[in-house]
Amino acid sequence: MEERRRLSILITPSAIFMLVLFVLPLLIMVVYTFRQGSFGPTSRIFTLAHYHDFLSDRALQGLLWRSVVQSFWISLISVCLAYPVAYHLSFQAGERKMTLLTIIIVTAWVSFLLRILAWKVLLGGSGAIASLAQSLGLSEEGMPFLIYSQEAVNLTLIYVWIPFVALPIFAGLERIDPSLHEAAYDLGCSRPEAFVRVTLPLSLPGVVAGFLFVFIPTVGEYVTPSLVGGTTGVMFGNIVRDQFVRALNWPLGSLMSLAMLIVVLIPLVIAARLFKFSDLAGL
């Protein structure tokens, strides 16, 4: 009984925090999806019109699907680029491991907005990447290169998320018992075979965690597309933001947010069935 009491005391503040700042706003958002208007008398009228509008709008559904696919590829490429970094830190860096890890973490301390603006300058007409493209004959002088496109959004987000993906993969690799590699070599495995049969399967929880770290926030991303994407790099999050800020159509914006939340929950459910959340958290 004493142990249960202590456990309840420890859990209560976190439970209240989640209830007030996550569950309650989510319920309010669900209620808003049934309201006819955002303010005034129409906000007291409940209707299913917004559900009909969203389900009949192929453009919005297509944009949501495109954002999901785009987020998937951004997450996958980020994992593929971050895995060699984490592998080197875990097995090759030696005494420099913590120093290199600190350098990676420090780069993530720079403001998210500043890093995006830096890429906007690099991809602009007078930026370093545009100048290189002009010298190679890939673009005309004074013309921007890649800026205001879907490719610019992908490149910027991959750069931003690589440090965050490398950390859970590194944590997963650090949990692997070195004696397992020695046993694999003793049984005749080469280094590539040991990697495929031992290292990669045991590091999958960290890989999945890193993938979800990127996929979940990227589906609703709107800052990066606004700054470097232009009209061709718009994502679903930009439309959700416009519904709340410009159109002041909170019911439709809430419904779109709810649809995006459901889409994000799908890979979480799949990951929960394949792995324990304690494995994904590196515990």
Domain with 117, as residue range(s), is 58-280
**Separation CA 177–CA 97 (nearest Å):** 17
The 10s digit of each residue's pLDDT in 79-131 is: 999 999 999 999 888 888 888 888 888 877 888 888 898 888 888 777 777 77
Q: Report the pLDDT value the prediction gives residue 257, as an integer from 0 to 100.
A: 94
Please give the Cα distance from 160 to 206 (Å, whole number): 18
What total number of domains does the chain contain?
1
**Residue 143 pLDDT level (bands cut at 50, 70, 90):** low
Separation CA 203–CA 170 (nearest Å):
9
Distances (CA, A) of 188 to 70, 88, 199, 201: 41, 23, 16, 18
High-pLDDT (> 90) share of the chain, %: 44
Question: Confidence class of residue 279 from pLDDT cuts 50, 70 and 90?
Answer: low
In a domain, 19, yes or no: no
Of 165, 247, 157, 244, which is closest to residue 212 (Cα–Cα)?
165
Q: What is the CATH number of the domain that holds 184?
A: 1.10.3720.10
Looking at the predicted structure, is the pLDDT value of residue 277 above 60?
no
Of the listed ranges 71-80, 90-99, 204-213, the one predicted with least confidence? 90-99
Q: Which residues of 84-117 are buried (b: 16+ CB within 10 A; e: fewer)?
A: ebbbbbbbeeeeebeeebeebeeeeeeeeeebbe
pLDDT value for 278: 54
The predicted model gives 153-160 an average pLDDT of 93
Q: What is the mean pLDDT of the chain?
A: 87
Residue 56: burial class (beta carbons within 10 Å; 0-12, 13-18, 19+): exposed
CA neighbor of 252 nearest in space, from 75, 14, 36: 36
Report the C-alpha gap between 110 and 129 in whole angstroms: 21
Which residue from 191, 25, 26 is spatially nearest to 92, judged by alpha carbons?
A: 191
The DSSP-derived string for 50-91 is HHHHHHH-HHHHHHHHHHHHHHHHHHHHHHHHHHHHHHIIII
pLDDT digits (tens, 9 = 90+) for 223-268: 999 999 988 899 999 999 999 999 999 999 999 999 999 999 888 8
Give the per-residue SS3 of 163-200.
HHHHHHHHHHHHCCCHHHHHHHHHCCCCHHHHHHHHHH
Assign 35 to helix, strand or coil: strand
Mean pLDDT of 52-63: 93
- The answer to whether residue 30 is domain-embedded is no
Give residue 40's pLDDT: 83
For residue 44, is it within any domain?
Answer: no
* Res. 137: pLDDT tops 80: no
Q: Name the percent of the chain lying above pLDDT 70.
A: 94
32 Cβ contact partners less than 8 Å away, ≥ 6 residues apart: 38, 250, 251, 254
Rounded mean pLDDT, 56-62: 93
- The pLDDT score that the predictor gives to residue 215 is 94
Q: Helix or strand or coil: residue 151?
A: helix
Q: Is residue 24 part of a domain?
A: no
Residue 91 token pair: 């097995």
Considering only 18-32, 88-102, 120-134, 154-168, which range has the smallest mean pLDDT?
120-134
Residue 233, in any domain of the structure:
yes
DSSP code of residue 260? H
Q: Residue 51's pLDDT band (boundaries 50, 70, 90)?
A: very high
In a domain, 31, yes or no: no
Residue 206 located in a structural domain = yes
Give the best-scoring range by mean pLDDT among 13-17, 66-70, 121-125: 66-70
**What per-residue confidence (pLDDT) applies to 48?**
92
Burial of 168: CB neighbours in 10 Å, binned 0-12, 13-18, 19+:
buried
Q: Is residue 20 part of a domain?
A: no
Q: Is the pLDDT of residue 207 over 80?
A: yes
